[in-house]
Amino acid sequence: MKLSVNVCNIRLSNPTILASGILGTTKALLKRVAESGAGAVTIKSVSTEPREGHKNPTVITFDAGMLNAVGYSNPGVVAAAKEFASLQDVGVPVIASVIGTQKEDFVRVVAGLSGSEFSAIEIPLSCPHTPGFGLLAGQGTPQATFDITSAVRKATELPIFVKLSPNIPEICAVAKAAEDAGANAITAVNSMGPGMIINIEAQKPILSFKVGGVTGDALRPIAIRCVYDLYKAVKIPVIGVGGISTGRHAIEMIMAGASAVGIGTGVYYRGIEVFKRVCEEMTLWMEENGFDDVNKIRGVAHD
Amino acid sequence: MIEQPRMVKICDIWDESPSVKTFFFKFDLHFDPGQFVMVWIPLLDEKPFTISYIRNDLMGVSVLKRGMFTNALHNKKIGDMIGIRGPYGKGFGLQTNPDFCVVGGGIGMASLATVVDRLNDATIIQGARTASEILYQKRFKDMNLCTDDGTTGFKGTTVDLFRKLLTRRRFQKVYACGPEKMLYKVVELCRNHGIECEVSLDRYIKCGFGVCGQCDCSGQRVCVDGPVFNIKELSKMKDFGKVTILKTGARVVY
């Protein structure tokens, strides 16, 4: 059974990738996720300066997923470069997630991480809950996406993944802007919303930032649709993220057109072992349905 | 386990020391000694606290007044509401047979109190800055006390007192909670004496259920893989006793 895939010339032993923002705070945790079966891992997003993020509660769950507004807490690029040194120890490709409030910040962070052995740079232009970043800074428009991606393109030779929001009706236009600016892959999608959960006894929103990005089961059908549309709209590979926690979900996402699948909230549903279990379940499904190579199911949902 | 805060009424408040109060509330979920809950004050913040009392259908958390959040909690009155979610984490592995000792430093004693409740004939070592900060004086008899200023018990550290006790006592198992430098030394002593040991660690906690990565200690998530770790697990955790992680994710040396 062949589970290995190739994304922008990065070889993944299987199509599962740890999505950014989950467990990617330290190299030790990345290594643990790799040992738990992930084909690649993504670090928690890094900005130029250290950020404390929002106050708690920052992450809560509900019956159809998770709501988070962590607020991009991270130690800043200098400390991150130290933390994520000698990345070959991790054992699988490591993707750097880079954020900024303006395009110059992205370039500075990419430069600051250039001494580390990252396999790709991901730029999420789509966070729905952090002032100054992503959607709240207007980075999700085709023009802003083009400008930031172009600036990062000049700053690195590594593959660039542009991570998009599911909220935007013209997601394909944004993806094309990224492709035109030299992006090598689209990561679809970031969390949706923002949403809100109110504790009715407290009579107040639970998250300290009041609103947060929605992930998990609630996001999956939307993520599948986005990937399905993007697969036809752009020539570069699409990494499908959103609500994947089982092998069947992963197969579904690949049928929509994904070259690889990101897993985040799945860690909540099924523990760190989710990566291994998704791969086992994919293998089983493929055996039962007469497939010997995961690459042969990519995009089969299309006419 | 519940993962959205449930609002509960504070039904009792005890002064344990000038800087520590215990807040009691009704919360009818199963709880293992060493597990923790997240306490939420709406619009303010949310922090982890170990359960320090189980009294009939009441649970209690002992809170040291230390920062903005704990100050706000100390200002709460009986009848006020707080949010609780949990319990979270892996608690202490309790065995009924061995001769065991609990070693608590400062507010760390709160984490060990329910261990003492569950097991009979505990040898208790408790250290505090000064006599008035010793916790649970009426609750536990015959504690081996030490203070930094010598106002009660042995003048010196918990580690010194533990070391002294080891010259005349033999323990099969030690449970410890307190400042991590202290825990590091307790674990070292236990290793040298061939004593089983479990300690409860403190890290900045966000989600509480193992997804955010904030509470990492050498690849272990303190919120779900811990907060209690045994000597074997600790021997693989290079950050133990040496490095903690700030709210930003920055690593700092103790």
pLDDT digits (tens, 9 = 90+) for B186-240: 999 999 999 999 999 999 999 999 999 999 999 999 999 999 999 999 999 999 9
Phi-psi region of A254 (alpha: psi -120 to 50; beta: other; left: phi over 0): alpha
CB-CB: which of B5, B45, B245 is closest to A199?
Answer: B5
Q: Which residues in chain A touch residue B239, judged by CB atoms under 8 angstroms apart?
A: 28
Q: Which residues in chain A touch residue B216, judged by CB atoms under 8 angstroms apart?
A: 25-26, 28-29
CB-CB: which of A50, A201, A265 is closest to B7?
Answer: A201
Instruction: Tell me the C-alpha distance between A195 and B15, whole Å.
Output: 40
Q: Is B43 on the interface with A (CB under 8 A)?
A: yes
B194/chain A closest Cα distance in angstroms: 29
CB-CB: which of B3, B7, B206 is closest to A58?
Answer: B206
Q: What is the mean pLDDT of chain A?
A: 97
Mutate to test the interface with A, among B46, B211, B244, B245 (most CBs of A within 10 A): B211
Q: Is the dihedral of CA A184, A189, A193, A194 positive or negative?
A: negative
Q: Do B44 and A55 touch (CB under 8 A)?
A: yes
Q: What is the DSSP string of A130-190?
A: -TTSGGGGTTTSHHHHHHHHHHHHHH-SS-EEEEE-TT-TTHHHHHHHHHHTT-SEEEE--
Among B37, B18, B19, B20, which Cα is nearest to B29's?
B37
Q: What is the DSSP letter of A84?
A: T
A20/chain B closest Cα distance in angstroms: 10
Q: Give the CA-trace dihedral at B218, B221, B225, B226, to 10 degrees.
A: 90
Buried b (16+ CB within 10 A) or exposed e, A181-220: bebbbbbbbbbbbbbebebeebeebbbbbbbbbbbbbbbb
B165/chain A closest Cα distance in angstroms: 37
Q: Do B45 and A208 touch (CB under 8 A)?
A: yes
From B213, which residue of chain A is nearest by alpha-carbon distance? A23
Instruction: Tell me the C-alpha distance between B2 and B117, whole Å.
Output: 25
CB atoms within 10 A of CB B138: 6
Among B166, B164, B158, which Cα is nearest to B129's?
B158
Task: Check if the beta carbon of residue B173 is closer than 8 Å to that of residue B102.
Answer: no
Q: Is B97 on the interface with A (CB under 8 A)?
A: no
B84/chain A closest Cα distance in angstroms: 11
Q: Do B219 and A29 touch (CB under 8 A)?
A: yes
Task: Check if the beta carbon of residue A121 is closer than 8 Å to that of residue A156.
Answer: yes
Confidence of residue B57 (pLDDT cuts 50, 70, 90): confident
Instruction: Show contacts of B230-233: CB within 8 Å, 24+ apart.
Output: B230/B93, B230/B196, B230/B197, B230/B198, B231/B187, B231/B190, B231/B191, B231/B196, B231/B197, B231/B198
* Token pair of A58 as six digits: 């920052």
Q: Is the dihedral of CA B194, B198, B201, B205 positive or negative?
A: positive
**In chain B, which residues fall in CATH 2.40.30.10?**
2-88
Q: Do B250 and A199 touch (CB under 8 A)?
A: no
Instruction: Tell me the C-alpha distance between A178 and A231, whole Å.
Output: 14
**In chain B, which residues fall in CATH 3.40.50.80?**
100-253
Q: Do A53 and B44 touch (CB under 8 A)?
A: no
- Which CATH code for domain B2-88? 2.40.30.10
Q: Is B250 on the interface with A (CB under 8 A)?
A: yes
Q: Which residues in chain B touch residue A206, judged by CB atoms under 8 angstroms apart?
A: 4-5, 40, 83
The reported pLDDT for the residue numbered B96 is 76
The reported pLDDT for the residue numbered A79 is 97
* C-alpha distances in Å from residue B248, one per residue of A50, A80, A207, A211, B215: 6, 11, 18, 20, 11
Residues 6+ apart with CB under 8 A from A47: A72, A74, A76, A77, A99, A100, A101, A105, A109, A133
Provide the number of CB pairs (under 8 Å) joining chain A to chain B. Answer: 122
* Backbone phi, psi, residue A181, to 5°: -85, 0
The reported pLDDT for the residue numbered B62 is 98
Instruction: Tell me the C-alpha distance between B45 and B61, whole Å.
Output: 16
Architecture (CATH level 2) of domain B100-253: 3-Layer(aba) Sandwich (3.40)
Confidence of residue B55 (pLDDT cuts 50, 70, 90): confident
Q: Is B244 on the interface with A (CB under 8 A)?
A: no
Rounded average pLDDT over B34-47: 97
Q: What is the DSSP letter of B107?
A: G
Task: Check if the beta carbon of residue B112 is closer than 8 Å to that of residue B91.
Answer: no
Q: Which residues in chain B touch residue A75, judged by CB atoms under 8 angstroms apart?
A: 246, 248-251
Confidence of residue A95 (pLDDT cuts 50, 70, 90): very high
Rounded average pLDDT over A112-123: 96
Task: Give the residue numbers of A annotated as catalytic, written as ranges.
Answer: 127
Question: Is pLDDT of B171 > 70?
Answer: yes
Rounded average pLDDT over B122-141: 96
- Count of positions (residues) in chain B: 254
CB-CB: which of A25, A83, A201 is closest to B214?
Answer: A25
Q: Is B98 on the interface with A (CB under 8 A)?
A: no
State which H helix or E strand residue A40 sits in.
strand A40-42
Label each residue of B132-173 as H, E or C: HHCCCCCCCCCCEEEECCCCCCEECCHHHHHHHHHCCCCCCE
* Token pair of A69 as six digits: 């507004």
Confidence of residue B1 (pLDDT cuts 50, 70, 90): low
Three-state DSSP class for A216? coil
CB atoms within 10 A of CB B204: 17
The verdict on ipTM greater than 0.85 is yes
Per-residue model confidence as pLDDT tens digits over A205-257: 999 999 999 999 999 999 999 999 999 999 999 999 999 999 999 999 999 99
* Token pair of A139 as six digits: 């980075």
CB-CB: which of B211, B246, B247 is closest to A22?
Answer: B211
CATH number, domain A5-302, options 3.30.9.10, 3.20.20.70, 3.40.50.2300, 3.30.1330.180: 3.20.20.70
* Backbone phi, psi, residue B114, to 5°: -75, -20
Q: Do A73 and B47 touch (CB under 8 A)?
A: no
The reported pLDDT for the residue numbered B2 is 64
Q: Is B233 on the interface with A (CB under 8 A)?
A: no
Cis check for the bond before A124: say yes or no (omega within 30 of 0): no
